Amino acid sequence: QWKAMLGYAEDEIGTDVSDFFMRLHPDDAGPVREGIVRHLKGEAGMFRAEVRLRCRDGSYRWILDQGRVVSRDARGRALRMIGTHTDVTRLRADQEDLRMLWLALEQSPNSVVVTDTDGRIEYVNDAASTISGYRREELMGRNPRILSAGKTPLATYQAMWAALGRGEVWKGELLNRRRSGEEYLEFMLISPVRQADGRLTHYLAIKEDITERKRIGQELDRHRHRLEELVAERTAELAAARHAAEVANQAKSAFLANMSHEIRTPMNAIVGLTHLLRTSGPTEEQARRLEGIDTAVRFLLSIINDVLDLSKIEAGRLELEHTEFSPAEVLASVRDLVAEQAAAKGLALELEDDGLPQAVRGDPTRLRQALLNFAVNAIKFTEHGRVRLRGRVLQRQADRLSLHFEVEDTGIGIAPEHQQRIFEPFEQADASTTRRYGGTGLG
């Protein structure tokens, strides 16, 4: 049987003790020899050891080796031994599994409690003792109700026992009390434990202390409710502010509508009087100046019409004109509007419009407005030299043109590092220019 246990046939292995030692694992040979020698000398009543023996296929099996001397000679020397070899390989594996399971239970951060079917506690792990405050010996044999704070609804217990009675797993929360009297909330999972034949023998409870988690959750709920209240308050405030802004905007629109009428009335009068003067036989110089007045007034009226039409501006629907005009005439009109200012400072005012088409379709008002702003600035910031208005064709494509307009001056200029900033509303390259030259920096 010993040979068969190691995988050998009857005639493949001898029965001398040396055959045993030859098959010992190298790590076990020394301790086995020492144990046998001690027993033979009478220092140990029995020899017992778990050793590894090499099988025929080269693998090792764990063997429980037990034996004792059964006869000695007159001088006490051992003559005969009897003993047994038991294969404990599977037993050791099961013991290792049990050891790992026990370590897992003992080191689990959650409480683990096992009771019999009558509810008497048969096992608790370290966490159950630590969390409850009771020593193990104080819990063993007791009913888990020792932990109850008496505040869990009866319906919870009824649901628990109903589920367990059906052989089902129950999950829920119980309010318990520690040995110190402090109450704590546990979430637990209780499951029936059945033997191989189906008999119900125990209940297993895995419990987690969720007191702090619940407290944090409740605190977060309070913060969330408060946040919702704040959002509601801010929403109401914003609605009130929006209503006030709408009221103010309506008042502004009404004011500007009235102002539009008041401004247009004298402007139309100026246009009419200018026309009368131009038809009353003025001199050539007077006619030229009257034409400049008429151009400026009509340009101002077009700007007023756009600025005061806030309904389109606020709706984002301000559209460019699409009318026929002469680009050269727009340049010339801008020159005429700033000619007096340039002459007052002794600046040469030049115009270059070679190559511009006779007529295009577009928005002459916007073009004139932009060029006029540039020209006025050029004159403002130029003390000596000239200001040049220039227009040229960049590209021709069938019935479309790309035109380039510019105003060039010999004034103070703008440093490169400031050129990206000056087109922002109310920005100037250098605040000191405001003190010297005036202006608000409208981009």
Q: What is the pLDDT of residue 51?
A: 94
Nearest to 16 by CA among 29, 2, 28, 5: 2
CB atoms within 10 A of CB 292: 16
Helix then strand then coil, in percent of the chain rounded to 5, is 50, 25, 30
Whole-structure pTM over 0.85, yes or no? no
Q: What is the pLDDT of residue 443?
A: 46
Helices 284-308, 364-380: inter-axial angle, 10-degree rounding: 110
Helix (H) or strand (E) segment spanning residue 434: helix 431-437
What is the C-alpha separation between 326 and 357, in angstroms, rounded?
A: 7
Query: Could you give phi then psi for residue 234, rounded to 5 degrees?
Result: -65, -35
- The answer to whether 131 and 110 have CB atoms below 8 angstroms apart is no
The pair of three-digit structure tokens given for residue 28, joined into one six-digit string: 């076990």
Query: Could you give phi then psi for residue 320, rounded to 5 degrees?
Result: -75, 150
Q: Kindly give the pairing relationship between strand 386-397 and strand 348-352.
A: parallel
Nearest to 86 by CA among 35, 122, 51, 110: 51
3-state secondary structure of 138: helix
What is the C-alpha separation between 349 and 389, in angstroms, rounded?
A: 8
What is the C-alpha separation between 102 and 95, in angstroms, rounded?
A: 10
The edge-to-edge listing of strands for the beta sheet with 386-397 is: 348-352, 386-397, 400-409
The CA dihedral of 25, 30, 34, 37, to the nearest 10 degrees, is 70
Stretches in the chain below the pLDDT threshold 50: 443
Write out pLDDT tens, residues 50-84. Answer: 999 999 999 999 999 999 999 988 888 888 989 99
The pair of three-digit structure tokens given for residue 396, joined into one six-digit string: 């021709």
Taking CA atoms, 108 is separated from 131, 193, 204, 387, 432, in Å, by 12, 19, 14, 88, 74
The pair of three-digit structure tokens given for residue 341, joined into one six-digit string: 């200012």
Write out pLDDT tens, residues 143-168. Answer: 999 999 999 999 999 999 999 988 89
Nearest to 57 by CA among 110, 5, 101: 5
3-state secondary structure of 249: helix
What is the C-alpha separation between 14 and 197, in angstroms, rounded?
A: 45
Residues in the chain: 443
- The answer to whether 122 and 116 have CB atoms below 8 angstroms apart is yes
- The answer to whether 174 and 188 have CB atoms below 8 angstroms apart is yes
The per-residue pLDDT of the chain, averaged, comes to: 86
The pair of three-digit structure tokens given for residue 104, joined into one six-digit string: 């897992």
What is the C-alpha separation between 365 and 1, in angstroms, rounded?
A: 116
CB atoms within 10 A of CB 114: 16
